[in-house]
Chains A and B, each alone.
Chain A
Amino acid sequence: MSYLDLSSVHLMVSAGRCDPESREWLLALSSTGPAREAARDRLYALLLRIARGEVHRRGGGPFRIAGPESDDVAHQAAADALLAIETKLDQFRGESRFTTWAYKFVMFEVSRTLGRHFWRRPHASMDVEAWERLPDRFGLDPARESEWRDLLAALRRAVDEVLTDRQRQIFVAIVLNAVPLDTLVEELGASRNAIYKMLFDARRKIRVALVANGYADPQGLRAR
Protein backbone atom coordinates (compact mmCIF):
# COMPACT_ATOMS: atom_id res chain seq x y z
CA MET A 1 0.00 0.00 0.00
CA SER A 2 1.30 3.42 -0.88
CA TYR A 3 0.32 6.51 1.09
CA LEU A 4 1.94 8.80 -1.41
CA ASP A 5 1.12 10.68 -4.51
CA LEU A 6 4.52 9.89 -5.98
CA SER A 7 3.95 11.95 -9.10
CA SER A 8 3.73 15.19 -7.08
CA VAL A 9 6.74 14.25 -4.95
CA HIS A 10 8.86 13.53 -8.01
CA LEU A 11 7.54 16.62 -9.79
CA MET A 12 8.66 18.84 -6.91
CA VAL A 13 12.04 17.16 -6.67
CA SER A 14 12.64 17.40 -10.39
CA ALA A 15 11.50 21.03 -10.41
CA GLY A 16 14.23 21.77 -7.89
CA ARG A 17 11.93 23.29 -5.27
CA CYS A 18 13.78 21.56 -2.43
CA ASP A 19 17.15 21.99 -0.84
CA PRO A 20 19.40 18.92 -1.37
CA GLU A 21 18.79 17.43 2.09
CA SER A 22 15.01 17.75 1.78
CA ARG A 23 15.20 16.21 -1.69
CA GLU A 24 17.02 13.22 -0.24
CA TRP A 25 14.36 12.76 2.41
CA LEU A 26 11.56 12.96 -0.14
CA LEU A 27 13.13 10.53 -2.54
CA ALA A 28 14.02 8.04 0.18
CA LEU A 29 10.60 8.15 1.81
CA SER A 30 8.80 7.81 -1.49
CA SER A 31 10.97 4.88 -2.59
CA THR A 32 10.29 1.23 -1.79
CA GLY A 33 12.11 -1.57 -0.02
CA PRO A 34 15.13 -1.24 2.28
CA ALA A 35 15.91 2.35 1.30
CA ARG A 36 12.49 3.47 2.44
CA GLU A 37 12.66 1.43 5.64
CA ALA A 38 16.07 2.93 6.46
CA ALA A 39 14.74 6.44 5.86
CA ARG A 40 11.69 5.74 8.06
CA ASP A 41 13.92 4.48 10.87
CA ARG A 42 16.18 7.51 10.58
CA LEU A 43 13.22 9.89 10.55
CA TYR A 44 11.57 8.18 13.51
CA ALA A 45 14.78 8.54 15.54
CA LEU A 46 14.85 12.26 14.73
CA LEU A 47 11.16 12.72 15.55
CA LEU A 48 11.57 10.89 18.85
CA ARG A 49 14.47 13.13 19.85
CA ILE A 50 12.42 16.22 19.03
CA ALA A 51 9.36 14.83 20.83
CA ARG A 52 11.37 14.07 23.99
CA GLY A 53 12.78 17.59 23.98
CA GLU A 54 9.34 19.07 23.48
CA VAL A 55 7.64 17.03 26.21
CA HIS A 56 10.45 18.05 28.55
CA ARG A 57 10.09 21.71 27.51
CA ARG A 58 6.36 21.61 28.32
CA GLY A 59 6.84 19.69 31.57
CA GLY A 60 6.17 22.72 33.72
CA GLY A 61 2.90 23.48 31.96
CA PRO A 62 -0.65 22.51 32.88
CA PHE A 63 -0.09 18.82 32.13
CA ARG A 64 2.61 18.24 34.81
CA ILE A 65 4.04 15.17 33.20
CA ALA A 66 7.38 13.57 34.03
CA GLY A 67 9.33 10.31 34.24
CA PRO A 68 8.29 7.20 32.29
CA GLU A 69 4.94 8.74 31.40
CA SER A 70 6.80 11.57 29.71
CA ASP A 71 8.73 9.08 27.56
CA ASP A 72 5.50 7.25 26.66
CA VAL A 73 4.05 10.54 25.43
CA ALA A 74 7.19 11.20 23.36
CA HIS A 75 7.06 7.73 21.74
CA GLN A 76 3.35 8.07 20.99
CA ALA A 77 3.79 11.55 19.53
CA ALA A 78 6.76 10.48 17.38
CA ALA A 79 4.90 7.43 16.03
CA ASP A 80 1.76 9.46 15.23
CA ALA A 81 3.86 12.21 13.65
CA LEU A 82 5.63 9.68 11.42
CA LEU A 83 2.28 8.33 10.24
CA ALA A 84 0.99 11.86 9.54
CA ILE A 85 4.15 12.74 7.62
CA GLU A 86 3.94 9.61 5.46
CA THR A 87 0.28 10.26 4.74
CA LYS A 88 0.88 13.91 3.84
CA LEU A 89 4.23 13.65 2.10
CA ASP A 90 2.75 14.83 -1.18
CA GLN A 91 1.61 18.03 0.58
CA PHE A 92 5.17 19.15 1.31
CA ARG A 93 5.80 22.06 -1.03
CA GLY A 94 9.45 22.74 -0.37
CA GLU A 95 8.64 26.07 1.33
CA SER A 96 10.89 25.11 4.25
CA ARG A 97 13.39 22.41 5.00
CA PHE A 98 11.78 18.99 5.11
CA THR A 99 12.77 18.48 8.73
CA THR A 100 11.13 21.76 9.83
CA TRP A 101 7.91 20.66 8.14
CA ALA A 102 8.23 17.19 9.72
CA TYR A 103 8.92 18.54 13.22
CA LYS A 104 5.71 20.55 12.97
CA PHE A 105 3.79 17.29 13.14
CA VAL A 106 5.67 16.36 16.30
CA MET A 107 4.44 19.60 17.89
CA PHE A 108 0.86 18.84 16.87
CA GLU A 109 1.06 15.28 18.20
CA VAL A 110 2.68 16.32 21.49
CA SER A 111 -0.13 18.85 21.95
CA ARG A 112 -2.78 16.27 21.12
CA THR A 113 -1.27 13.55 23.33
CA LEU A 114 -0.78 15.91 26.28
CA GLY A 115 -4.32 17.20 25.83
CA ARG A 116 -5.62 13.72 26.61
CA HIS A 117 -3.55 13.57 29.79
CA PHE A 118 -5.24 16.52 31.49
CA TRP A 119 -8.08 14.44 32.93
CA ARG A 120 -5.60 12.38 34.90
CA ARG A 121 -5.25 15.35 37.22
CA PRO A 122 -7.33 15.08 40.38
CA HIS A 123 -10.35 17.41 40.52
CA ALA A 124 -10.13 18.32 36.83
CA SER A 125 -13.51 19.54 35.67
CA MET A 126 -14.82 21.52 32.73
CA ASP A 127 -18.38 22.33 33.79
CA VAL A 128 -18.11 23.76 37.31
CA GLU A 129 -18.72 27.49 37.24
CA ALA A 130 -16.07 28.55 39.72
CA TRP A 131 -16.43 32.30 39.32
CA GLU A 132 -14.40 32.88 42.47
CA ARG A 133 -11.31 31.81 40.48
CA LEU A 134 -11.70 34.62 37.96
CA PRO A 135 -9.72 37.32 39.85
CA ASP A 136 -6.79 34.97 40.32
CA ARG A 137 -6.91 33.85 36.67
CA PHE A 138 -6.39 37.46 35.58
CA GLY A 139 -3.99 38.51 38.32
CA LEU A 140 -6.41 40.87 40.07
CA ASP A 141 -5.23 41.92 43.52
CA PRO A 142 -7.72 40.83 46.25
CA ALA A 143 -6.69 43.86 48.29
CA ARG A 144 -8.14 46.09 45.57
CA GLU A 145 -11.41 44.23 45.14
CA SER A 146 -13.42 47.42 45.47
CA GLU A 147 -11.87 48.57 42.17
CA TRP A 148 -12.71 45.47 40.11
CA ARG A 149 -15.78 43.98 41.83
CA ASP A 150 -18.31 45.81 39.63
CA LEU A 151 -16.33 45.11 36.46
CA LEU A 152 -16.28 41.35 37.10
CA ALA A 153 -19.99 41.40 37.96
CA ALA A 154 -20.61 43.10 34.60
CA LEU A 155 -18.45 40.51 32.86
CA ARG A 156 -20.43 37.71 34.47
CA ARG A 157 -23.70 39.31 33.36
CA ALA A 158 -22.32 39.53 29.83
CA VAL A 159 -21.45 35.81 29.91
CA ASP A 160 -25.02 35.07 31.06
CA GLU A 161 -26.73 37.35 28.58
CA VAL A 162 -24.76 37.49 25.34
CA LEU A 163 -23.00 34.15 24.88
CA THR A 164 -24.54 31.12 23.21
CA ASP A 165 -24.65 27.90 25.27
CA ARG A 166 -21.63 26.54 23.38
CA GLN A 167 -19.62 29.77 23.80
CA ARG A 168 -20.46 29.75 27.49
CA GLN A 169 -19.35 26.12 27.83
CA ILE A 170 -16.01 26.92 26.20
CA PHE A 171 -15.56 30.09 28.31
CA VAL A 172 -16.32 28.24 31.57
CA ALA A 173 -13.99 25.35 30.73
CA ILE A 174 -11.02 27.42 29.55
CA VAL A 175 -11.29 30.56 31.66
CA LEU A 176 -12.85 29.39 34.93
CA ASN A 177 -11.54 25.82 35.05
CA ALA A 178 -8.23 26.32 33.21
CA VAL A 179 -8.93 23.32 30.97
CA PRO A 180 -6.34 23.42 28.16
CA LEU A 181 -7.83 24.13 24.75
CA ASP A 182 -6.30 20.94 23.32
CA THR A 183 -8.05 18.94 26.04
CA LEU A 184 -11.35 20.37 24.85
CA VAL A 185 -10.45 19.34 21.32
CA GLU A 186 -10.42 15.73 22.52
CA GLU A 187 -13.37 16.12 24.86
CA LEU A 188 -15.75 17.85 22.44
CA GLY A 189 -14.51 16.24 19.23
CA ALA A 190 -14.08 19.67 17.65
CA SER A 191 -10.99 21.10 15.97
CA ARG A 192 -8.61 23.47 17.73
CA ASN A 193 -9.63 26.10 15.19
CA ALA A 194 -13.35 25.66 15.92
CA ILE A 195 -12.87 25.98 19.68
CA TYR A 196 -10.54 28.95 19.30
CA LYS A 197 -13.12 30.64 17.05
CA MET A 198 -15.86 30.08 19.63
CA LEU A 199 -13.72 31.59 22.37
CA PHE A 200 -12.68 34.43 20.04
CA ASP A 201 -16.35 35.28 19.40
CA ALA A 202 -17.12 35.01 23.13
CA ARG A 203 -14.27 37.41 23.99
CA ARG A 204 -15.48 39.89 21.35
CA LYS A 205 -19.10 39.74 22.51
CA ILE A 206 -18.16 40.19 26.18
CA ARG A 207 -16.06 43.22 25.33
CA VAL A 208 -18.85 44.77 23.26
CA ALA A 209 -21.21 44.28 26.21
CA LEU A 210 -18.71 45.88 28.61
CA VAL A 211 -18.28 48.86 26.27
CA ALA A 212 -22.07 49.24 25.99
CA ASN A 213 -22.33 49.28 29.77
CA GLY A 214 -19.54 51.77 30.27
CA TYR A 215 -16.84 49.41 31.56
CA ALA A 216 -14.55 49.68 28.55
CA ASP A 217 -13.62 52.04 25.75
CA PRO A 218 -11.21 51.69 22.81
CA GLN A 219 -8.29 52.35 25.19
CA GLY A 220 -9.20 49.48 27.49
CA LEU A 221 -11.19 48.44 30.52
CA ARG A 222 -12.04 51.04 33.13
CA ALA A 223 -13.97 51.52 36.33
CA ARG A 224 -17.37 53.04 35.79
Chain B
Amino acid sequence: MSDWTELDRFLQTDPRDVGCDRAMELLHVYVEMVAADADAAERHPGVAVHLKACGPCSEDFSGLLAAVTEGES
Protein backbone atom coordinates (compact mmCIF):
# COMPACT_ATOMS: atom_id res chain seq x y z
CA MET B 1 0.00 0.00 0.00
CA SER B 2 1.32 3.43 -0.93
CA ASP B 3 2.12 5.92 1.84
CA TRP B 4 0.18 9.04 0.96
CA THR B 5 -0.36 10.10 4.57
CA GLU B 6 1.11 13.55 3.98
CA LEU B 7 -1.13 14.27 1.00
CA ASP B 8 -4.13 12.91 2.89
CA ARG B 9 -3.36 15.16 5.86
CA PHE B 10 -2.99 18.18 3.57
CA LEU B 11 -6.42 17.60 2.05
CA GLN B 12 -8.15 17.08 5.41
CA THR B 13 -9.97 20.20 6.59
CA ASP B 14 -11.57 20.57 10.01
CA PRO B 15 -14.63 22.82 10.36
CA ARG B 16 -13.47 23.75 13.88
CA ASP B 17 -10.44 25.54 12.38
CA VAL B 18 -10.73 29.17 13.55
CA GLY B 19 -8.42 30.60 10.88
CA CYS B 20 -5.34 32.78 11.24
CA ASP B 21 -6.92 35.97 12.57
CA ARG B 22 -8.60 34.40 15.58
CA ALA B 23 -5.66 32.06 16.31
CA MET B 24 -3.20 34.95 16.28
CA GLU B 25 -5.50 37.09 18.39
CA LEU B 26 -5.35 34.41 21.10
CA LEU B 27 -1.76 33.32 20.53
CA HIS B 28 -0.23 34.99 23.62
CA VAL B 29 -2.92 33.49 25.86
CA TYR B 30 -2.65 30.08 24.24
CA VAL B 31 1.14 30.02 24.50
CA GLU B 32 1.09 30.84 28.21
CA MET B 33 -1.41 28.02 28.77
CA VAL B 34 0.85 25.59 26.90
CA ALA B 35 3.91 26.80 28.81
CA ALA B 36 2.03 26.34 32.10
CA ASP B 37 0.99 22.84 31.04
CA ALA B 38 -2.67 23.85 31.18
CA ASP B 39 -4.96 22.13 28.70
CA ALA B 40 -4.80 24.77 26.00
CA ALA B 41 -6.11 22.51 23.24
CA GLU B 42 -9.15 21.57 25.31
CA ARG B 43 -9.95 25.19 26.12
CA HIS B 44 -9.34 26.39 22.58
CA PRO B 45 -9.89 23.42 20.23
CA GLY B 46 -10.31 25.63 17.16
CA VAL B 47 -6.92 27.21 17.77
CA ALA B 48 -5.27 23.81 18.29
CA VAL B 49 -6.78 22.55 15.02
CA HIS B 50 -5.60 25.66 13.19
CA LEU B 51 -2.04 25.46 14.50
CA LYS B 52 -1.79 21.88 13.22
CA ALA B 53 -2.93 22.90 9.74
CA CYS B 54 -1.35 26.32 9.21
CA GLY B 55 2.44 26.37 8.78
CA PRO B 56 3.00 30.11 9.32
CA CYS B 57 0.81 30.32 12.43
CA SER B 58 2.43 27.17 13.78
CA GLU B 59 5.83 28.79 13.23
CA ASP B 60 4.72 31.90 15.14
CA PHE B 61 3.40 29.67 17.92
CA SER B 62 6.68 27.71 18.18
CA GLY B 63 8.70 30.92 18.18
CA LEU B 64 6.59 32.57 20.87
CA LEU B 65 6.64 29.44 23.01
CA ALA B 66 10.45 29.31 22.67
CA ALA B 67 10.73 32.99 23.60
CA VAL B 68 8.53 32.60 26.65
CA THR B 69 10.11 29.40 27.93
CA GLU B 70 13.63 30.71 27.27
CA GLY B 71 12.76 33.72 29.43
CA GLU B 72 11.78 31.38 32.26
CA SER B 73 14.86 29.16 32.12
Interface residues of A (CB under 8 A from B): 50, 53-54, 57-58, 61, 95-97, 99-101, 103-104, 106-108, 110-111, 138-141, 144, 147-148, 151, 155, 175, 180-182, 191-193, 196-197, 200, 203-204, 206-207, 210, 216, 220-221, 223
| CB atoms of A138 and B10 under 8 A apart | yes
CB distance B60 to A108 under 8 Å? yes
A223 contacts B2, C-beta separation under 8 Å: yes
Q: Are B7 and A221 in contact (CB under 8 A)?
A: yes
Q: Is the CB of A192 within 8 A of B20?
A: yes
Instruction: Report A163 CB to chain B, min CB distance, Å.
Output: 13
User: Nearest residue in B to A104 (C-beta to C-beta)?
Assistant: B28
Residue of A nearest to B4 (CB): A221
B40 contacts A by Cβ under 8 Å: no
Residues A180 and B56 in contact, CB atoms below 8 Å apart: yes
Q: Name the contact of A200 in the complex, choosing from B17, B27, B28, B29 (C-beta under 8 A).
A: B17
Query: Which range contains the number of B residues in contact with the other chain?
Result: 35 or more
**Residues of chain B in range 33-61 having any CB-CB distance to chain A below 8 Å:** 53-57, 59-60
CA distance A182 to B13 in the complex (A): 20
Do B63 and A107 touch across chains, with their CB atoms under 8 A apart?
yes
List residues of chain B with CB within 8 A of the CB of A175: 10
A207 and B13 form a contact (CB under 8 A) = yes
Q: How far is the CB of B38 from chain A (nearest CB, A)?
A: 12
- Encoded as 1 (CB less than 8 Å from any A CB) or 0, chain B from 1 to 31 comes to 1111011101111000101110010011101
- Shortest Cβ gap from B62 to chain A (Å): 8
Contact B6 A139 (CB under 8 A): yes
A44 to chain B, nearest CB (A): 15
Instruction: Say yes or no: B13 contacts A203, CB within 8 Å.
Output: yes
Contacts A100-B64, A203-B13, A221-B11 given; does A95 touch B2 at CB 8 Å:
no
Most buried by A among B19, B64, B68: B64
Taking CB atoms, residues of chain A closer than 8 Å to B31 are 96, 100, 104
Interfacial chain A residues near B63, Cβ < 8 Å:
54, 57-58, 106-107, 110
A203 adjacent to B11 (CB under 8 Å): yes
Contact B13–A204 (Cβ < 8 Å): yes
> Which residues on A sit within 8 Å (CB–CB) of B6?
138-139
Q: Smallest CB-CB separation from A185: which chain B residue?
A: B56
Identify 9 residue pairs between A and B in the complex whose beta-carbon atoms are under 8 Å apart, listed by A's number: A107-B63, A107-B64, A140-B4, A140-B7, A180-B55, A180-B56, A191-B20, A192-B57, A203-B13
The residue in chain B whose Cβ has the minimal distance to the Cβ of A182 is B56
Given contacts A103-B64, A200-B17, contact A207 B12 (CB under 8 A): yes
